């Protein structure tokens, strides 16, 4: 069904509220009868030319107030009239709470954004849907029944071999398939790693850093120390002083600062690792596939001290987050430890998904997909930079040589003010301060916001940049 | 290709070695040329009428010695001649180590078993392959692209609602969808639970118990105390004395003892939980779907103190292990704690798999599948019991009213001797002692072996029972 909802842009009433009011009235007056199925939030968003978070917010509100209900696998339906009367405040509260947890946003509050510069998103429109579907069909043919038995706890050997081959060709990573561990997401692998290395370890992390990794270590009871960084990444002298025995870094493109660690600094970190027994570097290479300027820097793992580097990679950024497949490459001497301490954990990735990805890798689809995505992201990247040109005087840009986000630092305004101005213009940007760990006060003076662009269309990038330019130049001091 | 290998049963040379020797000779003499693809271990096992572990063992040996290689997604191929010469002892060793880890067996040593009474297997022949494939195709239609975006960290709401409906109908579990957490396997969920409850907790477990759960708690740094059990399960007086604040139990069918906890004992455990703040029972209902005698006992969670029970269930036993979907139902007051302490972990199950399972549940396929499986397993169960009839005088049988395994206790012989006799007859059985925790000496006097039958064909059950009867009656004292 189609809902033709007349929306007034800039009417003072937020768009989501207009949608919510319209549907509520329709239900109350009988225009929408009980048990009628509503369009999906996605369909409705497309029809009304609004963002999906807007329609989701409207539906969440209707759900919370009991006007509509969600049925398993079926979608949203108008509630029976008697159900409408049964809603107690407690139920309403509960549903609200659920809605909140269902779509957490890194930056905190939810809102009906015209443009959301979400970091670490992906471009889903370019997902090779047809190929993926075709491979799945092939994988699930009769005679392949063993696919449903439990498999290798480390990941299927064929997939690990395919990952080894890819890493060797693309990142110079040198390893055998028995060093590769496949798991459902990098967070899960970091949990395993905490088991393997032991909780009596101290992990050094840059600050700001990838908050999820910090949360995992912290949640696992591992001690985490923030170590000062400069323009080239984690400072080796401070790392040495810290007493940590493990350092977690993202040399290809530090998140969120976007710093690409120069070779010299990498060597210093490797030297640190080599100086004492039991020291390791965790190299999180989460978005190394995307690089726009300069020649690719080899992975830490490939720089001759592979026995000191735990290499972490993911298909969440390069294929799709919902695929839930990441991997780590353990130094040979950690493999036995892994088997003893974490080898009993059955694989968290279904064998079917592993087989699909394996074929995607070995049949050349992944390489083609990456080439296409590099072009897509480069175009978005260039467009964003060009569209923000007018801000050049007031802002300094950084992190723009690789990855899927950039940073803007204002010459005087704080990130809070910048975010508020952006929000008033309907645009969500992400303050740098929320990525600081350990000493949150270090983020207090931040004048930097982060703009991710991977999940936005070119039109949205243009519009977002325009709105930001208007919002931020109007008040510039 | 077909390999016609002449095998001599009972020739003194194990079957796997005969297969290995034959293929090695064929490669050496040029009968099998470089780059020729070998049949899969499964195909070969079927052709030769031997178990798959036999062909796997032969291939592992050939791999380790460099005669064949495994290629990603493609299978096993005969190596190039020059590769044959390059094999260094180190490489051989390494491969052996890998092969060992690739197919771990709960009982320890690997062997070419004629019949393997593996506990916690499933009958894969009955997997509703066609339905599953059809649903996957439907789920992956165009316009469903959002399926590839990251989803709800707790599991998709529609799936959680379907699980809630199933649990309510089948197990009397009373909960809302926001209390359900979906994850890739029970072990992963127990890891999360350790995060949610905190590592300063003490978990009481029966001994013997499900070793994987013990390993997870122990690996997570949670203190585990074995608490004495009697014929009705964990003893509440000993639990009270232990000082533990969490008790992990399997009331429907304790693993491995097979004890079904009577209602009175369940109530005592609930009373224990209610006596002090912060106490919880973890109810692992891993195989509650299968019950052969007596009326179903309601779940602990349904007995009126749901705020003290963490309910754990899985589709590994009831659908297929490789599906990697389990779930837990948290007491309402733990939901907020879960969100704070573990809500940041992205879901470990792909949205596609969640959508497939969701439709499988809501469209009635799961119920039909369970009904069919109950009939299949009951037939196997009855056949096994009937086939073991001759052992009645020397053995006592237990755990036979539910689940997918039984226990046999000899009146005088120890489990070690029983296992050796079985092994000499080509049959693998599992000693009870390896499931003891904390005080392994308690398992020392064990005269009990475990026989799982789910993954065996009726013919294998008959043959296994016959071999065991011959082996064990010949020496009975």
Percent of chain B with pLDDT over 70: 89
> Least CA distance to B140: which residue of chain A?
A133
pLDDT in tens, A399-430: 888 889 999 999 999 999 999 999 999 999 99
Distance CA A430, CA A407 (A): 9
Distance CA B381, CA B461 (A): 9
Q: A 389-448 residues with CB below 8 A of B?
A: none
pLDDT in tens, B430-470: 999 989 997 767 777 899 999 999 999 999 999 999 999 99
Asked if residue B348 has pLDDT above 60, the reply is yes
pTM for this predicted structure? 0.75
Higher pLDDT, A145 or A129: A129
Nearest neighbour of B72 by CB, restricted to A102, A132, A358: A358
Nearest neighbour of A136 by CB, restricted to B97, B122, B136: B136
Nearest neighbour of B147 by CB, restricted to A103, A151, A322: A322
Asked if residue A440 has pLDDT above 50, the reply is yes
Mean pLDDT of B219-246: 95
Asked if residue B294 has pLDDT above 70, the reply is no
By CB atoms closer than 10 A (0-12, 13-18, 19+), residue B108 is exposed
Q: Which long-range contacts (CB under 8 A, 24 or more apart) does B12-16 make?
A: B14/B112, B15/B50, B15/B54, B15/B112, B16/B54, B16/B55, B16/B57, B16/B58, B16/B61, B16/B112
- Determine the distance from the C-alpha atom of residue B128 to the mean position of all C-alpha atoms in its chain, rounded to a whole number: 19
As for the ipTM of the complex, it is 0.71
Q: How many contacts, defined by CB atoms under 8 Å, are there between A and B?
A: 209
Distance CA A11, CA A78 (A): 27
Asked if residue B309 has pLDDT above 90, the reply is yes
Q: Is A96 helix (H, G, I), strand (E, B) or coil?
A: helix
Query: Across all residues in chain A, what is the average pLDDT?
Result: 85
Top residue of A164, A350, A360 to mutate, by most chain B CBs within 10 Å, is A350
Interface check for B69 against chain A (CB to CB < 8 A): the answer is no
Query: Could you tell me if A41 and A53 are in contact, meaning their C-beta atoms sit under 8 angstroms apart?
Result: no
Query: Could you tell me if B103 and B59 are in contact, meaning their C-beta atoms sit under 8 angstroms apart?
Result: no
- Binary contact (B178, A98; C-beta < 8 A): yes
């Amino acid at each position: 069904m189609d809902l033709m909802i007349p929306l007034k842009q800039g009417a003072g009433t937020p768009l989501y509220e207009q949608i919510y009011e319209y549907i509520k009235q329709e239900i109350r007056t009988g225009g929408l009868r009980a048990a009628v199925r509503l369009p999906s939030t996605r369909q409705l968003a497309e029809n009304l030319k609004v963002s999906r978070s807007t329609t989701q917010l409207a539906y969440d509100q209707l759900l919370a107030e009991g006007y509509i209900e969600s049925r398993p696998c079926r979608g949203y339906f108008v509630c029976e009239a008697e159900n409408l009367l049964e809603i107690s405040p407690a139920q309403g509260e509960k549903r609200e709470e659920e809605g909140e947890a269902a779509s957490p946003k890194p930056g905190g509050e939810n809102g009906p954004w015209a443009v959301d510069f979400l970091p670490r998103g992906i471009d889903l429109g370019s997902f090779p849907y047809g190929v993926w579907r075709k491979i799945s069909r092939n994988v699930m043919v009769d005679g392949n029944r063993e696919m449903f038995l439990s498999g290798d706890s480390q990941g299927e050997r064929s997939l690990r071999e395919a990952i080894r081959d890819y890493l060797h060709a693309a990142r110079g990573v040198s390893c055998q398939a028995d060093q590769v561990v496949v798991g459902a997401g990098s967070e899960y692998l970091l949990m395993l790693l905490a088991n393997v290395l032991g909780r009596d370890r101290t992990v050094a992390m840059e600050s700001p850093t990838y908050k999820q990794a910090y949360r995992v270590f912290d949640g696992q009871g591992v001690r985490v120390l923030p170590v000062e960084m400069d323009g080239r990444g984690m400072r080796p002298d401070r790392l040495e002083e810290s007493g940590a025995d493990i350092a977690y870094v993202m040399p290809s493109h530090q998140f969120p600062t976007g710093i690409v660690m120069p070779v010299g600094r990498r060597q210093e970190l490797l030297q640190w690792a080599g100086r004492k027994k039991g020291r390791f570097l965790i190299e999180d290479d989460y978005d190394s596939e995307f690089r726009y300027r300069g020649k690719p820097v080899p992975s830490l793992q490939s720089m001759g001290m592979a026995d000191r580097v735990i290499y972490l990679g993911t298909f969440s950024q390069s294929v799709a987050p919902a695929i839930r497949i990441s991997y780590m490459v353990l130094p040979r001497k950690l493999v036995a430890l892994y088997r003893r301490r974490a080898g009993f954990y059955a694989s968290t990735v279904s064998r079917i998904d592993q087989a699909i990805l394996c074929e995607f890798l070995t049949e050349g689809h992944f390489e083609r997909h990456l080439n296409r995505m590099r072009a897509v992201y480069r175009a978005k990247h260039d467009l964003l930079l060009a569209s923000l040109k007018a801000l050049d005087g007031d802002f300094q840009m950084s992190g723009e040589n690789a990855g899927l986000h950039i940073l803007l630092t204002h010459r005087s305004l704080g990130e809070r003010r910048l975010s508020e101005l952006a929000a008033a213009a309907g645009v969500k940007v992400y303050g740098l301060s929320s990525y600081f760990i350990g000493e949150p006060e270090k983020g207090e003076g931040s004048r930097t916001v982060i703009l991710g662009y991977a999940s936005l269309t070119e039109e949205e990038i243009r519009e977002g940049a325009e709105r930001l330019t208007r919002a931020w130049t109007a008040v510039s001091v």
